């Protein structure tokens, strides 16, 4: 089976996601969280890129990554992160074989009809992913809780999160930006309510 060519252009913002093999909950629990955090931290130490958002769900991960011009591609970054998670899991469990279901999915934020609104809405979509799966009651209390970086300037995430330019340009101060960002949560919650 042939796949369409992935847009690996550098200097863009990529929303990426990948599922565990057979959609099994291989990432559930404290060890899945630990492997995820360690793999991302190792990748940040090795490659130059900006991590905009990252969240773990029991059987998949979501990352928003802005690549840097003339540095590693999104494919190289994701390959590294996924390989480290699989290695850590297989070593801990004494297993071998496939950990991930398929190649990772991705989309380029800047190619959306309205990139700014799409990114700010997408951050809440990713944050609410564990909530929709019944793993959390509030995106602020998720295992990773990256969304708090956009709501509290003193929040310390388990790895370095860079606030995206689209968030920065919302207003002059962090407090004003955070307040405006909450409107996107409300928009997301209204859309979510339609399905429940």
pLDDT in tens, 5-52: 566 678 999 999 999 998 899 998 889 999 999 999 999 999 999 999
pLDDT attached to residue 158: 95
Section 138-159 average pLDDT: 95
pLDDT attached to residue 63: 98
Reading the block at residue 80, the tokens are 């590294």
Average predicted confidence (pLDDT) for the chain: 92
Q: Give per-residue pLDDT as tens, 153-183.
A: 999 999 999 999 999 999 999 999 999 999 9
Cα–Cα dist 108/192, whole Å: 23
pLDDT attached to residue 195: 45
Whole-structure pTM value:
0.92
Q: In what order do the strands lie in the sheet with 13-19?
A: 49-57, 60-67, 13-19, 105-108
pLDDT attached to residue 96: 86
Pairs from 143-152 (Cβ < 8 Å, separation ≥ 24): 143/33, 143/56, 144/33, 144/36, 144/37, 144/54, 144/55, 144/56, 146/53, 146/54, 146/55, 147/53, 147/123, 150/123, 150/177, 150/178, 150/181, 151/178, 151/181, 151/182, 152/178
Reading the block at residue 8, the tokens are 């690996």
**Cα separations (Å) of 144 from 16, 39, 141, 164?**
16, 13, 8, 18
Q: Where are the alpha helices (DSSP H) in the chain?
A: 30-46, 74-93, 115-132, 165-168, 174-194
pLDDT attached to residue 1: 45
Pairs from 1-6 (Cβ < 8 Å, separation ≥ 24): 3/103, 6/74, 6/75, 6/106
pLDDT attached to residue 102: 82
pLDDT attached to residue 95: 87
């Amino acid at each position: 089976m042939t796949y369409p060519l992935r847009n690996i252009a550098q200097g863009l913002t990529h929303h990426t996601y990948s599922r565990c093999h057979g959609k099994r909950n291989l990432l559930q629990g404290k060890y899945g969280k630990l492997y995820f955090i360690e793999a991302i931290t190792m990748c940040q130490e090795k490659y130059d890129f900006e991590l905009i958002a990252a969240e773990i769900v029991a059987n998949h991960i979501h990352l928003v990554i802005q690549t840097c011009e003339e540095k590693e591609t999104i494919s190289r970054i994701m390959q590294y992160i996924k390989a480290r998670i699989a290695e850590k899991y297989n070593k801990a469990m004494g297993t071998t074989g496939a950990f991930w279901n398929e190649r990772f999915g991705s989309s380029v934020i800047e190619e959306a009809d309205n990139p700014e609104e799409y990114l700010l809405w997408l951050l809440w979509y990713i944050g609410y992913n564990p909530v929709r799966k019944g793993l959390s009651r509030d995106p602020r209390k998720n295992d990773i809780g990256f969304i708090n970086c956009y709501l509290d300037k003193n929040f310390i995430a388990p790895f370095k999160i860079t606030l995206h330019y689209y968030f920065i340009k919302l207003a002059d101060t962090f407090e004003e930006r955070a307040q405006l960002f909450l409107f996107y949560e409300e928009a997301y919650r209204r859309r979510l309510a339609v399905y429940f």
